[in-house]
Structure 1
């Protein structure tokens, strides 16, 4: 079960998990790396976005830009921003044609 993100003492970030069967807690470091064909940031429209982690609450991938904005990209290509999880107002769609064919569809 996903517990949530946490900050390490050395400044790194982790996702924490818990196993109900054996009652073990463990952490997985969050890795950021640049993506050359990722979605543009829906806030500042920068092309410099990085994949951050899987977002189990919204069933998509969490992305960040170098300005600190966060957003989720669903497997359908819908960009979800904080405060608009219900997709009632504004939900830009990242075209499937911009996805990297080598990596396949978004997770």
Structure 2
């Protein structure tokens, strides 16, 4: 006999290609963040969103649901590798936070500009 599986801890892989949830925007803690499910975001013009909740501070927030190019991300501007993964929405600069397999992080803005961590300091 097998027990039924619990609710998924992350959205579908084509919409959330990393193995961990986002950092909490309130307490910045990544450890106890759980995905609450999909919804329609009124703040996002009725677009689909993913709802998240922090178990540490109980903050709730939404992130727009997108289909991210898991295998076809932008090249890393630091080491020029083409092996990059979408991580989350960037917390400090409007855009998407990407990481490369060498551990570099960078933001790609909606205008297509690359912002490095040292550029935001």
Q: TM-score band, normalised by the shorter chain? A: 0.5 to 0.7
For 1:69-89, what per-residue CA distance to the aligned partner results, in whole angstroms no more than 9, with x for missing partners? Answer: 100000000000011138xxx
C-alpha distance in 2 between matches for 1:57 and 1:67: 22
Alignment counterpart, residue 6 of structure 1, candidates 29, 33, 37 = 29
Tell me if the contact between 2:26 and 2:59 (Cα under 8 Å) persists in the aligned partners. no
Aligned partner of 2:89 in structure 1 is 54
TM-score by length of 1: 0.53
Cα distance, 1:7 vs structure 2:
3.7
Structure 1: where are the runs of 5+ without partners?
Answer: 18-22, 87-107
Structure 2: where are the runs of 5+ without partners?
Answer: 1-23, 36-51, 63-67
Tell me if the contact between 2:76 and 2:84 (Cα under 8 Å) persists in the aligned partners. yes
Distance 1:54 1:42, change over 3 A: same
